[in-house]
Structure 1
Amino acid sequence: MSPQRILLLSRKPLIERPLHEWLAEVVTDTVLITVPGALADVGADVPGRFRDCRTVTDYQSWFTEWTAECAAREHRVGLVASSSEDDVLRSARLRDRLGLPGQTMASALAYRDKLIMKNTAGVQVPRLRAIDGPTDLIEFIEEVALPVVVKPRRGSASIGVRILRDEADVTAFLTAGELPAAPQRSGRWIAEEYIDGDFFHVDGVIADAAVVHCWPSQYNSGNAEAAQRESELSSVLLAADDPRTILLQRFAADVHRTLPTPSFPTSFHLEAWIPAHGRPVLCEVASRTGGALIARTYREAFGVHLSRENLRGQCGLGLELRHQPTAPRRQGGWVLFPPGHGRFEPPTGACPVPGTEIELHMPAGTFAHGPEFAAHSAAAVEVHADTAEQVRERIRETTRWWSEEVRWVN
């Protein structure tokens, strides 16, 4: 049973994540903290279904956390739930201050801070080092040799990630003025050796420190690499008989056995490489649903929405899927096309590739300056077929069609 009252943090549009429907059993005892735009395109009565609904204009500001704490104390909530990576640490801090059950700060940090995460996970990880100044980076490069990757310890969406492949890249990074601020913001940066291998993500649900169900997919490249090249980012669910499927499922189980997992069921998003030696290497893992079209693809394949499962688990409600499927009921994948440079002229007709569904993320005429982060897209395409290889081929065909039809006019 769910506690009587719940504080829920979510900035996602309710038209995409219908929280009032997903949590129908407890919506009248739920206090929602959100942004004004999240309430657009839903019925005027929807905010009134919640016990209380409070909006903040700048969701990233400290005021959001203060608003949430004031609402939690006023309504005497018994649980704090969240739906995105922005809120993992924020929610844990609130639970600690209010003495509420749920994911603790120690658990939240293990899933958000990449240095703590990789020092805790009992699996293979890249060689790494905390970077609090230029000397730390120089010594690490001397130790492991180029290329190396520098990234924010608590970053997301590959924002701030730099791949330093040669001395010119190192010079450019040091010149950019980011590291000189590090001594004043200790604990911000981490450097890792560059791992050369195929890149994958594993998504699913954990409960009681064990994986309830999950499935791996293969990216077409690293997220940071795609953002730096300003090229498409795509992903394809692995086939059930692909030997990497069981390998990555076992790897995900091993990761969660060693980390301090949340005390409630939650979705997770794990990324890993498989280098030439064939043993997975952990990139990172998060206690929330993956971005892009991961949740949609998983829903088509297994009949459950990971974000819905995540929220219901946090709120003490039952999960829809409690076993590991043997195979996707439908093979799928997706591709994101990044913004170019200039005024956007989208395709004039529908995508001719079968099994595809395109969604434009930018209106025609929008002026763009390239992608701002890994999943920043002008359009997203869901792709489905009978086999994983057919999905890959349809993604290739869709990519050719997009490159031929789209114009970015200066």
Structure 2
Amino acid sequence: MRPGSADTYDCDVLVIGGGIVGLSTAHAITRAAPGTRVTVLEKEPGPARHQTGRNSGVIHSGIYYRPGSLKARYAVRGAAEMVKFCAEYGIAHAVTGKLIVATDRAELPRLHALVQRGRENGIPVRELGPAQIAEYEPQVRGLAAIHVGTTGVCDYVAVARQLAAASGAELRYGGAVVRIDRRPGHGVAVRTRSGDVVRGRVLVNCAGLHCDEIARLTGDDPGMRIVPFRGEYYELARPELVRGLVYPVPDPAFPFLGVHLTRGVDGSVHLGPNAVPALAREGYGWATVRPRELAATLAWPGSWHLARRHWRYGAGELRRSLSKAAFTAAVRRLLPAVTEDDLVPAPAGVRAQAVLADGTLADDFLIRETPGAVHVLNAPSPAATAALPIGREVARRALTALGRSGGDRATAHRAAPSRP
């Protein structure tokens, strides 16, 4: 299999991955450079089957993220754009605001630090005492809290479907990638498990849980490994106990936000997620084990460095995974009225977390370029919130690469959006 000649390309830009980031990228390319041929290759029979469709549906405000980081800038901008997008296309959403609640005195300095971070990121934050917490959430208890008014919820699967419909891209589902041939100046040729070959001038890798594997298939060293973490959820049998969104004060040493309470657009309330190592990249339960993927995770030095560094935190997460009583206890810190009988098992999700060789968790969005390719190598939460600005940034890079590869240089140069 060899990349095609100039007149045998199936598309100008070939996007691998039909989650919200891949579809937003395709949408942004066709908006920025009309006439650019874009193909989205997705291994599942439809869009948004993994991270996009298996999360709590929160439109994040950006309060947690380091000022000036891509996460901070894109989440703040993306939250406003996501609300506008949902309103424009009639997609279910609500701007509910959320509480971040301190339940222990040791959490108060971290809560105050979040107030400062929110203000630095331009996010409206209101500080609350115990009586004011009850005004927002009568059943929630805490020593202090902050209210973040720009947080909301939406239906991200519907957003992904709308992006797919509006992009004008060719969508090829059921196309699991097994081989990629790339030659500088001659584009890429991608073979799927079914034997189809798709040729493009530029490759964009938005493969989420498999992005590092796709990077290696192109011949690039991603410099990281996706280590999958499963987030387990329960649904609250008495949703009337929670009005909106309630979060604990997160531990800044770990990228997960802790067990929180989320009232979705359908009125149901989800509790979670915790964060435990998954035994497969799409390991949505303990029974799903893929030996090859598990062996690759265990062979990565960063996995062991990470385990040594965070084993105490991990032990607590594992306990909550195996014990409903322990999970209930975590919820009761925020919502004392809840009982074990109130927790109904709900579908889990898996976070595609990039881990470096020294065990460092990639904290920011990670986008890398190589000749003829753009790789999105770390885009977990809040990537869904930030999907529209992320898509524009990846599109900008792809269009620049398209100009370099011998595509329509003039169009790529004129249409590519400026760097945010």
- TM-score normalised per structure 1: 0.32
Considering Cα pairs closer than 8 Å and 6+ residues apart, tell me whether 1 or 2 has the greater RCO: 2
- TM-score normalised per structure 2: 0.31
